[in-house]
Amino acid sequence: MFDADNKTNTYVKIDDVLMLKKQEIEVKSFLFATQDERGGVMLCEIDTLEDAVTYLGKRFTGVVRVEQGKDVWTTEGGFVFVDKSEELSQSGIPPAG
């Protein structure tokens, strides 16, 4: 887990991850990439793609793409929600970086 305010990492043992499941905490995953071709997978309790974009933009410099399932946000195209009939090019969230 990561504490954005203190910028410290806390590594969690597998047993602790299983405990999260037992407590019925819904953990979501987001794939992200930065302009310098770095990125990764964020496992967290953030519920929405919009909130993940905001968080990752504050945490990492130059975030250019964030994905959750088929939904995606890019600096070029904004938000595209496959499961929703609407596309959001701007939702009030400033570009990351």
Q: How many domains does the chain have?
A: 1
Whether 38 is in a domain gets the answer yes
- What are the angstrom distances between the C-alpha of 53 and each of 23, 36, 42, 46, 62? 26, 17, 11, 10, 11
pLDDT above 60 for 75: yes
Residue in the block written with tokens 């794939």: 31
Q: Summarize pLDDT for 11-48 with one digit per residue, the tens.
A: 555 555 555 555 567 889 999 999 998 999 999 999 99
Side by side, the strands of the sheet bearing 87-88 are: 39-44, 28-34, 63-68, 71-74, 78-80, 87-88
- Between residues 94 and 83, which one has the greater pLDDT? 83
Predicted structure pTM score: 0.62
Burial level of 21, CB count in 10 A (0-12/13-18/19+)?
exposed
pLDDT above 90 for 8: no
Whether 34 is in a domain gets the answer yes
Whether 94 is in a domain gets the answer no
Q: What percent of the chain clears pLDDT 90, i.e. is strictly above it?
A: 54
